[in-house]
Structure 1
Amino acid sequence: MDKEKLKSYLKSLSEDELNAILDQRDEQNFDAAWCQVYEVVDEVEVDFDGESIFRELSEAVSQHEIVSYILDDLLLLEKSDAMGISPPFVEYLKSCYDSGKVPHKWKG
């Protein structure tokens, strides 16, 4: 993940755009895909420094809910990597974060 790209992207979004991203993530397709991966990787232990990432990203945006979602995604990616699994949804998350975007549209 390119944190600088992501921070720049977050700074460029209006409050309405941030809320739209959150709404899209709550839609059935995205939420179901996310939860399906989470159920597989939930028990995996990884060394993840979410606190420093939260602080760093929170400097870029006042919408802390989206930062929490990002941290959840990054932890999911770490756990998936630790398990050696890479289903299409995980690949989608990776590609979004690699391009400095917050994933929010999953067609499955």
Structure 2
Amino acid sequence: MNVDSVARPYAFIKFDTFIQKTKKLYSDQRTQRNLEKLNEDLHDIQSIMTRNINDVLEQGERLDRVENMSGNLAMESKKYAKKAKDLSRQALIQKYMPVIVLVGLFICVYGFRRFFAAA
């Protein structure tokens, strides 16, 4: 058996420059520090974005609560308007009922006297 030998441990020489650059990039200590710094920055950005998303979600929940409260307020104001009309009507009845009763009683007495006086 005859095995061909190559100068490098891989047979695809056209990728040699890419592989050498990548190897140098990852073996350089400054690059490792830069990658660590980049990872820290990415982590910071991720935490900021997570916080922003949570803030937006909380704001949506607060808006839902405000919407519910405004709906309840509108419903309660309608109830208040109805109660105000009822109270106004009751106040008018209490104010004018004695006068109406006296006038009605006077008309009844006058009509009764007139009916029996004519007979």
TM range, smaller chain = under 0.3
Q: Greater helix share, 1 or 2?
A: 2
Compute the TM-score of the two structures, normalised by the length of structure 2. Answer: 0.20
Q: Which structure has the larger Rg?
A: 2
Higher relative contact order (CA 8 A, sep 6+): 1
Compute the TM-score of the two structures, normalised by the length of structure 1. Answer: 0.22
